[in-house]
């Protein structure tokens, strides 16, 4: 390529900071690099990734177990959680007209994305099967009581899992699930499998 062609070639856009690993202390968001125009492409990618992860769980040919259903649901949507957290932090604490316009579109897209997941009969069926079988190890038995609830309450627990609440599968062996404040939504009305206290 000649020097003239190089000068005429459009400059390559820098990568979207929301879609790359953050090389910051404690992996905090690089707010100085994030602009409003980064959010819609990041949400597009996050919705697509999460939909693919949910589809993989839904179409898993193996029999449902804790790892391929509950843990897989908890681990899905990491990019969506990451992008959403940054976006809604900025909307609530450092908003501007551009972000508010994006919020209007994102809110609709978020509802369209989550509604089919929340009403997914295949996912509910996989969890219901786990509820019937009830064969879990030390970690899994902490969440087990949530799978013995009524269909309505089970749906609410499924929402907690899908919404990204910290799940007991991420807690180490011997950890008391009552001591973890991040489990408050998931643990309401359950008894801790480790210490026996009601939470």
Mean pLDDT of the chain: 75
Which CATH number belongs to the domain containing residue 41 in this structure?
A: 1.10.1370.40
pLDDT digits (tens, 9 = 90+) for 42-77: 999 999 999 999 999 999 999 998 899 988 999 999
- What are the φ/ψ torsions at residue 188 (nearest 5 degrees)? -55, 125
Give me the pLDDT at residue 66, please. 86
pLDDT tier for residue 131 given thresholds of 50, 70 and 90: confident
Report the domain count for the chain: 1
The answer to whether residue 120 sits within a structural domain is yes
- Indicate whether this model's pTM tops 0.85: no
Token pair of 17 as six digits = 């900071």
The answer to whether residue 9 sits within a structural domain is no
The answer to whether residue 74 sits within a structural domain is yes
Secondary structure in 3-state letters for the chain: CCHHHHHHCCCCCCCCHHHCCCCCHHHCCCHHHCCHHHHHHHHHHHHHHHHHHHHHHHCCCCCCCHHHHHHHHHHCCHHHHHHHHHHHHHHHHCCCHHHHHHHHHHHHHHHHHHHHHHCCHHHHHHHHHHHHHCCCCCCHHHHHHHHHCCHHHHHHHHHHHHCCCCCHHHCCCCCCHHHCHHHHHHHCCCECCCCCCEC
The answer to whether residue 16 sits within a structural domain is no
**Helix axes of 97-118 and 78-93: crossing angle, nearest 10 degrees:** 140
Position 140 pLDDT exceeds 80: no
What is the rounded average pLDDT of the residues 39-43? Answer: 97
Q: Which domain holds residue 64?
A: 36-187
């Amino acid at each position: 390529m000649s020097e003239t062609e190089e000068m005429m070639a459009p400059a390559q856009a820098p990568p979207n900071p929301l879609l790359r690993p953050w090389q910051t202390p404690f992996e905090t968001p690089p707010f100085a690099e994030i602009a409003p125009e980064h959010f819609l492409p990041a949400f597009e990618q996050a919705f697509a990734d999460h939909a693919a992860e949910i589809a993989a769980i839904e179409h898993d040919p193996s029999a449902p177990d804790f790892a391929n259903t509950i843990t897989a649901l908890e681990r899905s949507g990491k990019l969506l959680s990451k992008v959403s957290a940054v976006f809604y932090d900025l909307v609530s604490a450092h908003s501007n007209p551009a972000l508010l316009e994006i919020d209007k579109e994102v809110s609709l897209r978020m509802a369209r994305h989550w509604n089919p997941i929340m009403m997914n009969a295949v996912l509910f069926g996989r969890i219901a099967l786990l509820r019937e079988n009830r064969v879990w190890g030390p970690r899994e038995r902490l969440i087990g009581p949530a799978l013995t609830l009524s269909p309505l309450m089970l749906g609410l627990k499924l929402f907690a899992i899908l919404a990204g609440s910290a799940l007991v599968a991420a807690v180490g062996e011997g950890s008391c699930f009552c001591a973890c404040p991040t489990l408050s939504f998931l643990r309401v009305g359950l008894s801790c499998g480790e210490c026996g206290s009601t939470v």
